[in-house]
Structure 1
Amino acid sequence: MPQTDVIIIGSGLAALTVAYHLRHKHVKIITKSSWSQSNSMLAQGGIAAAVANNDSWKNHFEDTIAAGCYHNNVKNVEYLVQEGPRELNEWIHRGVKFDCDTKGQLLLGKEGAHSHHRIIHAGGDATGKELTSFLYYQSKPYVQIVENEIAIDLIIEQNCCQGVNTKNNQGEINSYFASHVIIASGGCGAVYGQTSNTDVITGDGIAMAFRAGAELADMEFVQFHPTMLHINGKCVGLISEAVRGEGASLVTQNGEAFMYTIHHQGDLAPRDVVSRAIFDEMEKGNQVFLDISSINNFNSRFPTITALCKQYGINLASGKIPVAPGMHFLMGGIKTNENGETSIQHLFAVGEAACTGVHGANRLASNSLLEGLVFGKRIANYISSISAEVPQSRTTKNKAKQVNEKPKLPTKKQIQEIMTTYVGIQRSNTGLQLAIKWFEKYRDQISFQNINVKTFTINEIEVINMLTIGWIIATSAFERTESRGGHYRIDYPERNDQNWQRKQVMITKSEMFVGA
């Protein structure tokens, strides 16, 4: 049976960062599609870091905590913002080319809820693609990459992760063993119909960890990006927050601006605030547009967005881009400590699949790529420092529930409709109960916690994962009886108080509880 030092599930920025820093070990990356299909490749805005002379890590810290509605893990946020500038300087020295002015100074943008210009970007609005590609080619000579295989279940013995079972496009099952397994599979954007995520992000890593017994946390906190290109009732691509940072404003079809009547930061308010404001306007029957008429160099500053708009026939000369909110980022995930360790021995998580607590209840713009770089390196350094003792047991015995007759599963579209209708930007007690009841029809048939997915097709496995994640988000949202950040209950007041004691809704197997 194949044996390696480290298996990484996923191929985005966080995964490649870990692989780069572990290139002295035998590392295998397993990804369900091609390495280039990740949310990291789609990231437009940039990377937040306090590198300007008039900025400081303390400013960045305060912005992150405020945007996160004081639900953040304070120590992890401090580590993120303190290490950020050093980490970026190291990648610049390695050869990453960020956008600079004619004097060679970094061009710094501004995005929602930031008090300073601190967003470093590359390729105008292609930061994720530029950085992820650079990391891929730097890591490729040292790492074995297995593409087009979906990780379906972790191999667990006595609460110790020994490897992973996968299924390839030919339906073949493979088992891989390693001293350490790292889940870096991203979030769960495809659980919602309108999303900025690539369609392969169906929550597989998080659902798989849940089946294995790993503890999850903060799953109710879902961030909707305020401005996605909205064509014929469908969100078709991301319009970076950096566009508003360059001076664009949100207006209705009548040209009426509305954000400054809602929040003192106006169009650059935190994402949860802006998304709800746009949602409210659309509920009134209004259309919402980004007015870009004040940005003189739009085509050169935002080439990716320009190409996207042209693809869908948007005349940028009109100065208006139709927008609507779409699911963008999951603040929760597999609960980890500062070194990426989960509640299962030898199992780690990093990136959007992990819940480190740095994002709190609402992620500050452009902190996600930073998290991937900083915590990816931290996990790699930690793994390098600990014993590489290989678990002794080598069994592929599967104790999960066998399904004698395949149940009739819903379609992905049906799951997306339930999540968008009842577990979206605005939530209520009644709506959440309806969603939970719908999900539990399937949970009772197939058991989200304890099912052998090997006999299912890849599409069916994705549906089971989406059902699992949908049920967890809905149930966690029902348990949190307040509004905070990306979790907005119309039947409970909003809380952003600084003196509030952080409480997490955590879930493992069929148990759900609230902890500090």
Structure 2
Amino acid sequence: MTKNQIADVVIIGSGIAALVAATRLCEHKNVIVITKSKKENSNSNMAQGGVAAAVSRDDNWMNHFVDTITAGNDHNINNAVEILVKKGPKYLQDMMVKGMIFDSDDNGRMILGQEGAHGKRRILHAGGDATGKALVEFMLGQLNDKVKIVEDILAVDLLVDSNKCYGIKIKRKNGKIENLYCKHTIIASGGCGGLYSFSSNDSTITGDGVAMAYRAGANLVDLEFVQFHPTMLYTNGKANGLVSEAVRGEGAILITESGKPLMKGVHPLADLAPRDVVSREIHRAFLQGETVYLDVSMIENFSRRFPTISKICEENGVDWRKGKLPIVPGAHFHMGGIQTNESGQTSIQHLYAIGEVACTGVHGANRLASNSLLEGIVFANSLADFILTIPEESWDHMPESFISSRNTQTMQLPTKAEVQQIMMTYVGIVRTEEGLTFAQTWFEKYVSSFSNLVPEGLSHEDIIIYNMLQTGWLITSSALMRTESRGGHYRTDYPAEIIDWKKKRIVRNSRIPALHH
């Protein structure tokens, strides 16, 4: 093993959390960023809504804290939330000092938006509804070739021995398998929206990080909590792009085909109620044969205020000028994931997780709107602080267990669409024991045969499906274990008032017997 096979830090993913961590660490460490597609393929790059932060004179961190806890159905870890809302404004200010530009009015005052479940206008935007894209481009500019970003590399598995991570096994487009050794491995691979038929996520986001961490033996927590965004543009039976919550923040309302306000009398915040509440109401209407629209007729200069959304509408044959956008809920954010502390440490030494793939407990059972980009920025900085202050270990050799037998076993796998249909139908917005049990049994037909399978022997596409099956099974099994309704996990057979599992967290680890027959 030669020295040039060892890096200080390898980061899996290229979203905001990955880029912030890389920017901080590259000044002192040799950092490599790998992504299974292109560096622009991330949920961060697609984020429309903005970044939430208590920056106005009539707002403070405690207001933001309370709104986050309330939206999270009191399942949050309070200390993590406090770090998020206290440190967020400072990190954003630091970015602005370095040149990041957020939208402001003609007098130079920052324009702050309103979104669901926020008690104050505290959402910073850039480029109207292209905040994520602006942030990603800014961070890539900050890196300025200081970090090697390798595209079209699939992370297959983590190299773990005796509960210590030594790097990752990767697969190149040409099928070549390599071990990439490093002293610090950071998973920032995003969530799992691609497991569902309707999703706002980039098509590359398929739960890979959760599956790899599970196989390595890392603790996973709160996997049952999946947030559905209420408003995705719905045309030709497909979800074709996100319609940001900021549109409702500017006055748009949900209506039925007859023009009846959908959210009137459902929740005190009406159309700005928490996302799980709004998504369930739209879902209920759909089951009753109703078509649901977002009425945007009251918003002046719609195309100037929301250029990305206007373009999505035009690309899909929807005339936004008529004021009615057909919508449907879609999988948006995974509150659960790889269990970490506030510094991004997992239960495995030298393995870290940040961004949506991680679960610090900051979002509880339901993420507050526009807290996701903020989470990536804050906890990537916390992780960088930790790595830069710990003493370096000297690694003279690697365990022999990382030399693979190159298993070429093949197996019959379902298609992506089949996995997505199972998840959308039985593990979606509304769940039941019967539906979850059916889905779990379906997944176990495949997952039960994985014990002796080395995923590197599969094709590039089949590895992704393999990960989708494992992550889908984990989410389904966790949803069966939580016999209550809370936030993004809603079961008609266990309404919220029957049982209160306050602060109860379901932790899964690959050392737990994998299947329940």
Normalising to structure 2: TM-score of the pair?
A: 0.96
Question: Could you tell me how far apart the structure 2 residues matched to 1:502 and 1:391 are?
Answer: 40
Q: 1:15 maps to which residue?
A: 18
Match runs of 1:344-359 below 5 Å = 344-359=348-363
Alignment of 1:419-438 (within 5 A): 419-438=423-442
Q: Which runs of 5+ in 2 are unaligned?
A: none
Gaps of 5+ in 1: none
The answer as to whether partners of 2:409 and 2:457 remain within 8 angstroms in 1 is no
Aligned identity (percent) is: 52
- Of residues 247, 260, 264 in structure 2, which corresponds to 1:260? 264
Does the 8 Å contact 1:155/1:396 carry over to 2?
no
Give the Cα separation in 2 of the matches to 1:109 and 1:184: 28
Question: CA separation in 1, counterparts of 2:356 and 2:391?
Answer: 26
Q: Establish whether residue 490 from structure 1 lines up as the match of residue 492 from structure 2.
A: yes
1:480 aligned residue (479, 482, 485): 482
CA distance in 2, matches of 1:73, 1:495: 21
2:387 is equivalent to residue 383 of structure 1: yes
Distance 2:277 2:402 in 1: 45
Distance (whole Å) between structure 2 residues aligned to residue 503 and residue 512 of structure 1: 21
The alignment's C-alpha RMSD in Å is 1.6
CA distance in structure 2 between the aligned counterparts of 1:351 and 1:343, rounded to whole angstroms: 17
C-alpha displacement of 1:367: 0.1
Q: Which residue of 1 aligns with 2:304?
A: 300
- State the alpha-carbon separation in 2 of the partners of residues 325 and 380 from structure 1: 35
Structure 1 residues 251 and 400: CA distance shift in structure 2, 3 A: farther
Match of 1:109 among 113, 124, 129: 113
CA displacement at 1:34 relative to structure 2: 0.8
Matching residue's letter, 1:234: K
Structure 1 residue 299, shift from structure 2 partner: 0.8
> Residues 404 and 300 from structure 1, CA distance in 2 versus in 1: closer, same or farther, beyond 3 angstroms?
closer
Of residues 311, 314, 323 in structure 1, which corresponds to 2:315?
Answer: 311
1:7/1:405 CA distance change after superposition, 3 Å = closer
Matched, 1:216 2:185: no
Counterpart code for 1:72: N
Contact conserved, 1:179 with 1:390, CA < 8 A, in 2? no
Structure 2 CA distance for partners of 1:390 and 1:204, relative to 1, 3 Å: farther
Q: 8 Å contact 1:192–1:327 — kept in the other structure?
A: yes
Q: Distance in 2 between matches of 1:192 and 1:360?
A: 21
Alpha-carbon separation, structure 2, partners of 1:100 and 1:496: 47
1:205 aligns with 2:206: no
Shift of 1:188: 0.9
Which stretches of structure 1, 4 residues or more, deviate above 3 A after TM superposition? 390-393, 398-405
Mapping 1:495-510, distance limit 5 Å: 501-509=502-510
Residue correspondence of structure 1 range 116-155 to structure 2 within 5 A = 116-155=120-159
One of 5, 9, 29 as aligned partner of 1:6: 9
Question: What amino acid maps onto 1:11 in structure 2?
Answer: S
Question: Residues 342 and 170 of structure 1: is their aligned pair in 2 closer, same or farther, counting only changes over 3 Å?
Answer: same
What is the DSSP-based 3-state SS (H/G/I as helix, E as strand, rest coil) of the residue aligned with 1:362?
A: coil
The alpha-carbon deviation at position 139 of structure 1 amounts to 1.1
Structure 1 residues 117 and 496 mapped into 2: Cα distance closer, same or farther (>3 Å)?
farther
Measure the CA separation in 1 of the matches of 2:406 and 2:20. Answer: 37
Instruction: Determine if contact 1:401/1:451 at 8 Å carries over to the other structure.
Output: no
Superposition pairs for residues 47-66 of structure 1, below 5 Å?
47-66=51-70
Q: 1:395: Cα distance to partner? A: 3.6
Distance 2:477 2:407 in 1: 25
Contact 2:408 2:457 in 1 (8 A): no
Q: Which amino acid aligns with 1:4?
A: A
- Aligned pairs for 1:126-205 (under 5 A) are 126-205=130-209
Deviation at 1:84, TM superposition (A): 1.1
SS of corresponding position for 1:235 = strand
Q: CA shift at 1:75, angstroms? A: 0.1
Equivalent of 2:285 in 281, 284, 289 = 281
Q: Distance in 1 between matches of 2:497 and 2:488?
A: 12
Q: How far apart in 2 are the matches of 1:317 and 1:405?
A: 55
Displacement of 1:391: 3.8
Cα shift at 1:194: 0.6
* Mapped contact 1:162–1:391 kept (Cα < 8 A): no
What is the distance in 1 between the residues matched to 2:511 and 2:160? 18
